[in-house]
A and B are shown apart, each in its own frame.
Chain A
């Protein structure tokens, strides 16, 4: 009797244990391995300002690329390939960018580069990469000439076939801002300021052209020195011009203090800028008087993109110290486009990288198409993103809030 009972309880416990064991083994079998895939390691380079005024944006780019590589490795997305990331600091300087480009080209394991942040830096890197057929995907460059050539206003011509970008160009961003300012905000007199850099001057130019076409008046223009933070002389000129709005072509380290000093000079008018000022640091630098300032930024508002939510969750889970900032989603998509191109080349070559991998990856990039963090990711004949969405944000209650969203279709 006692033995029978013991057998019964043992059987019941064994059944339970076996059940649990079976569940456990089935579960872990589906997950695959999180560790490296073995085989070949492919390096994705990152060039961005990792130190200095713009480092908040640059570190967000670096971390987002790192996240893409980790996700690809975790999913074993390209069989036999492990991705790693090597990041170099360009300090937002064209000369540093060119040095970094040369370094990446000299490393055979680097098969694609994400970056840079600044259009002026990109200009110094494009030829270096193109000569080596090393693909470059920028998440943030907005200067039209990088893809459409120096005469893009009259005749578009692609100079570098290895250059792509996931960001929208100033050819759309500046006019979109002008349309909003003139038609929606009902401002007809603008004062235009830029920092003389490729990005800032270009953006100010496209805004000015459209604003004048619409019937608006430019009541003053100024250039500032980005190395200073004292803009009191310019602020006084803005005050005396009778402008209803200031358009600034440049980035947030200067735009924040500029906005603050314009208001302090007595001109209680909004400052409007492009994606270069769409950063939380702008709000901190501009202070309370920055409420009502506006920025256009490439892409749709993150909260309307389901794919973005997954990115935000994964970024948080990865525990990066710095925020993904304005270009995080675009950086992830830039890195993933390289991963997709590598996958295509490897798949077409019997599961291995070919000897001329760089050239083949550059060619494959032209036909990459996938649903990314920022929407559908693919490139047109110039290397520009086909997804051309823009959003106007306003500083409201100490944060950027979307107030207008647009989609460009130039076909």
Chain B
């Protein structure tokens, strides 16, 4: 007969070659004697261990306040929108024009504007208030941008989507963000550049 026998012993069966276990009393005697000699100490130790384990577990699983949310990156909380064109401030050089934008910080700590530029060669930009200035959440700030055409040959003939580059800083990071101010700004910029460079051969 071939094959494999039952994997588990059947009911009432027992392996013949299993060694008899030693009497329990003889093996436990030294431990029992030790326990008898130091019963109080053993009990005290066991109780302390149980209390410590319970306390430790309680401490480890104590209700905790979730960590405060991280401060957002400044570019994620700043909105910049074009408002209107403005009169050029007194003392501005010829071929300058101005407009107003609204800066809002939607949440988080105050954001400082450290630089305002624009990307075109042949143009420079300055902000009022002068940089750096801080804006707090819930307190929108109007900023007047004055641009000066330094070289008409290097300004765009037209632009569909011009933007301002603003360097923002808060307690989290410093970021340079391009704010695309939309069609009203694009129209104003194109018109102003045409006027500024209409009588210029440069």
Q: Indicate whether A and B interact.
A: yes
Which of B55, B121, B177 touches A407 (beta carbons < 8 Å)? B177
Report A's interface with B, CB cutoff 8 A: 2, 5, 8-9, 12-13, 15-16, 19-20, 23, 27, 172, 175-176, 178-179, 183-184, 209-210, 213-215, 300, 304-306, 375, 388, 404-411
The smallest C-beta distance from B92 to any residue of chain A, in angstroms, reads: 24
C-alpha gap A20/B59 in the complex (Å): 11
Closest to B173 in A: A304
With A15-B50, A20-B57, A23-B58 as contacts: A210 and B159 at CB distance below 8 Å: yes
Query: How would residues 153 to 186 of chain B score, 1 for a CB under 8 Å from any chain A CB and 0 otherwise?
Result: 0001111111100000000010111111111000
Give chain B residues whose Cβ lies under 8 Å from the Cβ of A407. 75, 79-80, 177-180
Are A12 and B50 interface neighbours, CB within 8 A? yes
Contact sample, A vs B, 18 pairs, CB 8 Å cutoff: A19-B55, A20-B53, A20-B54, A20-B57, A23-B61, A27-B61, A178-B161, A179-B159, A210-B159, A213-B158, A213-B159, A300-B73, A304-B73, A404-B176, A406-B180, A407-B177, A407-B179, A408-B182
The smallest C-beta distance from A29 to any residue of chain B, in angstroms, reads: 12
The smallest C-beta distance from A52 to any residue of chain B, in angstroms, reads: 34
Are B43 and A5 interface neighbours, CB within 8 A? yes
Are B46 and A9 interface neighbours, CB within 8 A? yes
The smallest C-beta distance from A80 to any residue of chain B, in angstroms, reads: 28
Size category, B interface: 35 or more
Which of A16, A19, A176, A410 touches B182 (beta carbons < 8 Å)? A410
Number of A-B contacts (CB under 8 A): 116
Q: Would you call B76 an interface residue if the criterion is a C-beta within 8 Å of the partner chain's C-beta atoms?
A: yes
Q: Would you call B32 an interface residue if the criterion is a C-beta within 8 Å of the partner chain's C-beta atoms?
A: no
Are A12 and B46 interface neighbours, CB within 8 A? yes
C-alpha gap A20/B57 in the complex (Å): 7
With A176-B180, A213-B160 as contacts: A19 and B43 at CB distance below 8 Å: no
C-alpha gap A183/B118 in the complex (Å): 10
With a 10 A CB-CB cut-off, give which of B40, B46, B47, B82 has the most chain A CB atoms. Answer: B47
Give chain A residues whose Cβ lies under 8 Å from the Cβ of B72. 306
The 7 residue pairs across chains A and B that have the minimum distance between CB atoms: A406-B178, A410-B182, A12-B47, A183-B119, A16-B50, A175-B161, A19-B54
Give chain A residues whose Cβ lies under 8 Å from the Cβ of B23. none
Q: Would you call B3 an interface residue if the criterion is a C-beta within 8 Å of the partner chain's C-beta atoms?
A: no
Give chain A residues whose Cβ lies under 8 Å from the Cβ of B121. 183
Are A8 and B161 interface neighbours, CB within 8 A? no
Which of B43, B76, B82, B120 touches A8 (beta carbons < 8 Å)? B43
Give chain A residues whose Cβ lies under 8 Å from the Cβ of B61. 23, 27
Query: How would residues 77 to 114 of chain B score, 1 for a CB under 8 Å from any chain A CB and 0 otherwise?
Result: 00111100000000000000000000000000000000
The smallest C-beta distance from A230 to any residue of chain B, in angstroms, reads: 35
Give chain B residues whose Cβ lies under 8 Å from the Cβ of A410. 180, 182-183
With A179-B163, A300-B76, A304-B76 as contacts: A409 and B181 at CB distance below 8 Å: yes
Give chain B residues whose Cβ lies under 8 Å from the Cβ of A9. 43, 46-47
Are A409 and B79 interface neighbours, CB within 8 A? yes
C-alpha gap A306/B69 in the complex (Å): 9
Are A405 and B54 interface neighbours, CB within 8 A? no
Q: Would you call B131 an interface residue if the criterion is a C-beta within 8 Å of the partner chain's C-beta atoms?
A: no
Which of B53, B55, B156 touches A215 (beta carbons < 8 Å)? B156
C-alpha gap A179/B178 in the complex (Å): 11
Give chain B residues whose Cβ lies under 8 Å from the Cβ of A20. 53-54, 57
Q: Would you call B51 an interface residue if the criterion is a C-beta within 8 Å of the partner chain's C-beta atoms?
A: yes
Are B156 and A214 interface neighbours, CB within 8 A? yes
